[in-house]
Structure 1
């Protein structure tokens, strides 16, 4: 399995909508974390986006998994990048 760094950029002025969907979003991510697929995640840039580090077989597989994220389903993720990440040092290596 490979490691993938995923960035989310949220759609402009979606704070209220994200607040409404945040419990389902967090439950979704918690499930991925319990399964071992999601290694770490959290907001970046003052909450305008997020960084997620996941394990999977391919970028396409990760995209398919994240398509079910309630933030994505609700159209709150404007930009999403998925990049394979070769970790050399650290706890995630």
Structure 2
């Protein structure tokens, strides 16, 4: 399995983001492939970092497509990159 770092940039519709956030967090929390996720503090527009462990990039992209934020059009951009941890708790 490989690690993938995801960078989300959210849209500016804060009312919709606040409304759908519980569903978004519940969805992400249900994914066994998700290692960690959280907002990047002090960013405007809001951004987040998500870390996945999966066999393929396409698996991660498919999971992200089902995120309630993405389905509602609240993710302005996303970048998914393979990540190779060489030091720390994720290194093998």
TM-score between both structures, scaled by the size of structure 1: 0.89
Partner of 1:69: 67
Point out where structure 1 has 5 or more consecutive residues left out of the alignment: none
1:23 equivalenced with 2:19 (yes/no): no
Which consecutive aligned stretches of 4+ in structure 1 deviate over 6 angstroms post-superposition?
none
Q: CA RMSD in A?
A: 1.1
Whose helix fraction is larger, Structure 1's or Structure 2's?
1
Structure-2-length-normalised TM-score: 0.90
Residue 3 of structure 1: aligned partner: 3
Once the two structures are superposed, residues 35-91 of structure 1 have per-residue CA deviations (whole angstroms, 9 ceiling, x without a partner) of 2x1111100142501100001122221100111100000000011000000000111
Q: When the two structures are aligned, how many residues end up with a matched partner?
A: 89
Residue segments in structure 2 that go unaligned for 5+ positions in a row? none
Q: Between 47-56 and 17-26, report the one with greater CA deviation.
A: 47-56
